[in-house]
């Protein structure tokens, strides 16, 4: 119970302030536990961040694996993938923001952990995009499409309060159905264009 309290407190604080601006005492205070419990369960503040990153990747990996089904058309799998990522962002946006906002790239163990986890995401994502006649080993494409999916969707939730005031939008289930469908349509048409262009380039046309 104390471990999860610490985890949730750190997620909330890292999402709002970033990793560097938060101390272990603040995490302990927000979670209502003794500071020694942080060391007991996580070892350090970096240990908490590693746990946050691991959970983020588990959720993102689940979103991909639940969508990629070789028995279904590729377009349907992509549509489900977008829906899964949007649902993830709606349900646990603080986890996403904590992961994206708080990553200190000068801490080697954090970078190493991310490289290991992201390699699994790339492998699963590559399975889907290979069905659009794209090379799953095309590192240039994968380095672009992966961050685009994640940051493009999560970015909406960062500016959501501004959009709500500016455009008076009701962010309900109907809105997010349209949101997911528009993103999917853009990707499907874009993927076709990318595949055609890269195919011509490989042929030397």
Q: pLDDT-based confidence at 141, cuts 50/70/90?
A: confident
153 in any annotated domain: yes
To the nearest whole percent, how much of the chain has pLDDT over 90?
Answer: 35
4 in any annotated domain: no
| pLDDT for the residue 106 | 58
Residue 84 has pLDDT above 90, yes or no: yes
Q: What angle do CA 85, 86, 92 make, to 5 degrees?
A: 85
What is the C-alpha separation between 187 and 145, in angstroms, rounded?
Answer: 9
37 in any annotated domain: no
CATH number at residue 161: 1.10.357
129 in any annotated domain: yes
| Number of domains forming the structure of the chain | 1
22 in any annotated domain: no
Residue 105 has pLDDT above 60, yes or no: no
13 in any annotated domain: no
20 in any annotated domain: no
What is the C-alpha separation between 117 and 149, in angstroms, rounded?
Answer: 16
What is the C-alpha separation between 189 and 72, in angstroms, rounded?
Answer: 19
Q: Which stretch of 36-45, 111-120, 173-182 has the lowest confidence by average pLDDT?
A: 111-120
Q: Which residues contact 184 (CB under 8 A, 6 or more apart)?
A: 78, 79, 82
18 in any annotated domain: no
Residue range(s) defining the domain that contains residue 193: 50-203
Residue bearing the bigger pLDDT, 1 or 55: 55
Helix (H, G, I), strand (E, B) or coil at 33: coil
Q: pLDDT-based confidence at 191, cuts 50/70/90?
A: low
């Amino acid at each position: 119970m104390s471990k999860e309290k610490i985890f949730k407190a750190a997620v909330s604080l890292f999402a709002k302030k970033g990793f560097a601006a938060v101390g272990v005492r603040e995490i302990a205070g927000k979670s209502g536990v003794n500071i020694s419990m942080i060391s007991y369960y996580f070892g350090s503040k970096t240990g908490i961040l590693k746990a946050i990153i691991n959970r983020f990747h588990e959720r993102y990996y689940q979103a991909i694996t639940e969508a990629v089904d070789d028995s279904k058309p590729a377009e349907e799998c992509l549509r489900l993938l977008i829906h899964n990522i949007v649902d993830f962002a709606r349900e646990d946006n603080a986890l996403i923001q904590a992961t994206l906002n708080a990553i200190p790239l000068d801490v080697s163990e954090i970078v190493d952990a991310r490289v290991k986890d992201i390699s699994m995401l790339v492998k699963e994502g590559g399975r889907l995009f290979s069905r659009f006649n794209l090379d799953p080993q095309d590192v240039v494409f994968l380095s672009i499409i992966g961050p685009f999916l994640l940051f493009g969707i999560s970015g909406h939730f960062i500016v959501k309060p501004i959009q709500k005031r500016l455009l008076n939008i009701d962010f309900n289930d109907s809105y997010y159905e349209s949101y997911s469908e528009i993103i999917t349509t853009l990707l499907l048409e874009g993927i076709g264009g990318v595949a055609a262009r890269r195919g011509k380039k490989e042929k030397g046309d």
